[in-house]
Structure 1
Amino acid sequence: MRYKVIAIEREYASGGREIGEKLAKMLDVPCYGEEILERAAAKTGIAREELSRLEESMNGSLLFSLNMLAGMTSGRGVDLTRAQTLALAETEIIRELAVNRCVLIGRSAAGLLRENEHTLRVFIHADPQNRLERAVRFYHCDPRTAESVLRRCDRRRANYFKTTTGVEWRDPALYHLWINSGRIGIDSAAELLCRLIQS
């Protein structure tokens, strides 16, 4: 098996999380998404809710080199901001998880593991109308609110990805595969990835 880790990045309301969870069940491997944030809270001692807010507030102005900070700790005289502490904690957790077979959803895993030859990097997207309908259906909001949430969440994900990895979230060169879940469906997308991993 060439790929033992599948790192899935996804547009908001594209079904990427659901695809990742289905794929993990098919492969009988663990799936990590929100769990990474929970582990980061335990590792840093910062409340999960605050970490969630930090993720949302990260933007290009907070961009820093994780390579320069790697291996440094606040105990060695480096005063890390809470945002940097979160990013470093999540980076360490993702790299630890990637030692074993798993599916990683979001949290910049595709960018952080871009040098790992055993990681399949996938971007899940869907047509705007498909995502809007999904957001209205699954998140029980009106179309205008859903449209605003889609834009805000995608912008937040792009900012967080750029901040933590230094690369663009939607850069096609970063990914092995782009999947339009609106065109092929959630189940078919998971099955496609499963066949690819098992081939």
Structure 2
Amino acid sequence: MAVITISRQYASGGNEIALRVCERLGYRIFDKRLMVRAAAVLGLSEQEIFDFAETSYKAKSFLERVFGGSQDVAQVRLWKEDASGTRSVQELALSESAALQLVQFAIRDAYQVGNVVIVGRGGQALLADQPDVLHVRVVAPEEERIQRVKEELRQARQAYKADIEVRRDAQDRIAMRDAASAEYLSRFYNIRWDDPQHYHMVLNTGKLDVEEAADLILLAVEHLPERAVA
């Protein structure tokens, strides 16, 4: 019934580690399917779901932080049916607050079921006080992260660009993604994303490969207290 949260720097290998842990433990990864499950409990349809994670959050500018309120983060389409049975599509704006509450409900629901790995989304903050949850942070040296992103960009673009230009793009993407993750945790949970006190362990993929990191996580999970049965 254990739960694992994984916070990761962009391009640190955290996603790959999460998937490997799930394979070895037979756990589920927290993804759109679990969001759909939570939405169904709330009486929502799949069309009303927006997974408001760090990956969909953009770091705000100084002016946005000072003057901006809870803004809309997505447009979702809903089918509406009138008294005559005529169906139409309605566009509905989804606010930050509503999207965040849905994600939080889904995380709590996944925790109750157990045997799940939650990557990002503030899981380490939302489940901080649960003794049967293991909190892991994954980091990597900046140069290794740059090389990983450079390779991803080359494959995605399928075109030659000067190495210095690809490197600059990779650095910009890393800085943007890390800044968004840090701001997400600071804004919505008032914690520092990189504070090691929020984690049981910090794994450096510059020192460990995916399999070695998974080994350490599995060893730590074995020492978590069992959840009390109600």
Does TM, normalized by the shorter one, top 0.5? yes
- Cα deviation digits, residues 108-149 of structure 1 (max 9, x gap): 111111111111111100010011111112343721100000
Shift of 1:167: 1.1
Q: 2:111 & 2:120 partners in 1: Cα distance?
A: 13
Q: 2:210 & 2:197 partners in 1: Cα distance?
A: 23
Question: In the alignment, what sits opposite 2:17?
Answer: 19
1:188 to 207, 212, 215: 212
Aligned pairs for 1:1-199 (under 5 A) are 4-33=2-31, 35=33, 43=44, 46=48, 48=50, 55-57=56-58, 82-99=95-112, 100-140=114-154, 142-199=166-223
Q: 2:55 & 2:149 partners in 1: Cα distance?
A: 24
TM-score by length of structure 1 reads 0.78
Change (3 A) 1:53 1:15: closer
Computing the radius of gyration from Cα coordinates, the structure with the larger value is 2
Does the aligned pair in 2 maintain the 1:161–1:169 contact within 8 Å?
yes
- Cα deviation digits, residues 174-199 of structure 1 (max 9, x gap): 11110001211122111211122235
* Number of aligned residues: 181
Q: Which runs of 5+ in 2 are unaligned?
A: 71-93, 158-165, 224-230
Change (3 A) 1:41 1:132: farther
Question: In the alignment, what sits opposite 1:71?
Answer: none
SS at match of 2:57: helix
Q: 1:37 & 1:54 partners in 2: Cα distance?
A: 15
Question: In the alignment, what sits opposite 1:78?
Answer: none
Q: 2:110 & 2:99 partners in 1: Cα distance?
A: 16
Q: What RMSD over aligned residues (CA atoms) do the two structures have, in Å? A: 3.0
Q: 2:54 & 2:195 partners in 1: Cα distance?
A: 25
TM-score by length of structure 2 reads 0.68
Q: 1:52 & 1:196 partners in 2: Cα distance?
A: 26
- Cα deviation digits, residues 56-95 of structure 1 (max 9, x gap): 236566799xxxxxxxxxxxxxxxx700111111111101
Does the aligned pair in 2 maintain the 1:7–1:120 contact within 8 Å?
yes
